[in-house]
Homo-oligomer: A and B are copies of this chain.
Amino acid sequence: MRYRFGCHLSYEVKSPTLFVFNIEAARLPRHQNLAEELVISPDYDRRVHVVPGSETRYFAVNAKPGPFTLRYQAKVDLDALHKDPAEIAETPVPEIPLEVLPYLLPSRFVSSDRLASFALREFGRLDRGFERVTAICNWIYDNIDYKRGTSDGETTADESLLLRAGVCRDFSHIAIAFCRALGIPARYVSAYAFGLAPPDFHAVFEAYLDGRWWLFDATRQAALDGLVRIGAGRDAAEIAFASPFGEIEAGPVEVFIERIDAPGENAVRTADAISTDDSAPLPGQ
């Protein structure tokens, strides 16, 4: 499926400000024929950094006081891998690659260490495999209300569980916490999400099963095979779409994604397991 997607960002810069942006699609093999255009105005120099492994792309700009805008648009053939969930087992912890193990550790917003008993109590006796992560998503969907304004940039998975409410960021943090507590590596993913209404940057998560990262969305708000991944990291702290170090005023954020090959077509939910990441194969594969 071919998508056109992107975003427009605008700022009023008040003091000299370092901006770090993470808005570009990751350069994954399954993001085929990625064609991109980025226009920033004024046309400041960019410094670029790509995280090895997750292929998350950052660029930094030193902006001067005054208006500052970015327009990113791109096209991609999204060649998501589909598989029968029933065939996907959990990777036994001893077989998890060492470079994947950090995704078992607790992080700023994902206190999986404090939630170990909670996760075991609720999901410890379920059959292991892809379906256990699906069960985690279902539990969150059933028990947490999707409600804007209930969380902020410092809200942790713990707090969301007590508040019983959150947005996509918080749903993902809770899911990641439960996965890690059960010995399933999990990471936070930002994406352009086809079918998301209203359009916005979306947060989902990936769990590492059977030697590969699989996509999940506990909010059920987007089609899993319509997600163009931007960043992947431990939690929301790592992959903000914009991190300004300075005094700024943010204007409206405009995000878009649409099918090119079948304009006007709606997102269809799939029951398949979906992966767009091939970057952490098991040794020997």
**CA separation between A60 and B165, bound complex, in Å?**
33
Stretch of A2-10, A112-120, A215-223, A258-266 at the chain-chain interface: A112-120
Are A117's CB and B153's CB within 8 A?
no
Contacts known (A98-B20, A107-B107, A111-B108); A162 close to B154, Cβ less than 8 A: no
**Are B183 and A113 in touch, CB under 8 angstroms?**
no
On whether the beta carbons of A106 and B237 are closer than 8 Å, the reply is yes
Contacts of A143 in B (CB 8 A): 121
Q: Interface residue tally of chain A, by bracket?
A: 35 or more
Give Cα A118–Cα B98 distance, bound, in whole angstroms: 37
With A and B bound together, what is the CA distance between A164 and B106 in angstroms?
19
Give every chain B residue within 8 A of A246 (Cβ-Cβ): 93
Determine whether A94 belongs to the interface, using a CB cutoff of 8 Å to chain B: yes
Q: In the complex, which of the residues B20, B99, B121 contacts A101, with contact meaning CB atoms closer than 8 Å?
A: B20
Main secondary structure of the interface of A (DSSP, over half): mixed
Contact B58 A114, beta carbon cutoff 8 Å: no
The CB with the most chain B CB atoms within 10 A, among A58, A164, A183, is that of A164
Closest chain B residue, CB of each to CB of A48: B98
Q: Within 8 Å CB of A111, what residues of B? A: 108, 154
Given the known A-B contacts A94-B245, A98-B58, are A105 and B238 also in contact in the complex, defined by CB atoms under 8 Å?
Answer: yes
- A49's partner among B98, B107, B145, B164 (CB-CB below 8 A) is B98
Residues of B within 8 A of A99 (CB): 49
Using Cβ atoms and an 8 Å threshold, which residues of chain B touch A94?
16-18, 60, 62, 245
CA distance A163 to B237 in the complex (A): 20
The residues in A between 85 and 129 inclusive whose CB is less than 8 angstroms from any CB of B are 93-94, 96-99, 101-102, 105-108, 110-111, 113-115, 117-118, 121-122
A198 at the binding interface (Cβ < 8 Å): no
- Asked if A245 and B107 make an inter-chain contact with CB atoms under 8 angstroms apart, the answer reads no
Q: List 11 A-B contacts (CB under 8 A).
A: A47-B283, A49-B99, A52-B52, A60-B94, A101-B243, A107-B108, A108-B111, A114-B154, A115-B162, A117-B165, A118-B164
- B-binding residues in A (CB < 8 A): 16-18, 20, 47-49, 52, 58, 60, 62, 93-94, 96-99, 101-102, 105-108, 110-111, 113-115, 117-118, 121-122, 143, 145, 150, 153-154, 158, 161-165, 183, 237-238, 243, 245-246, 283
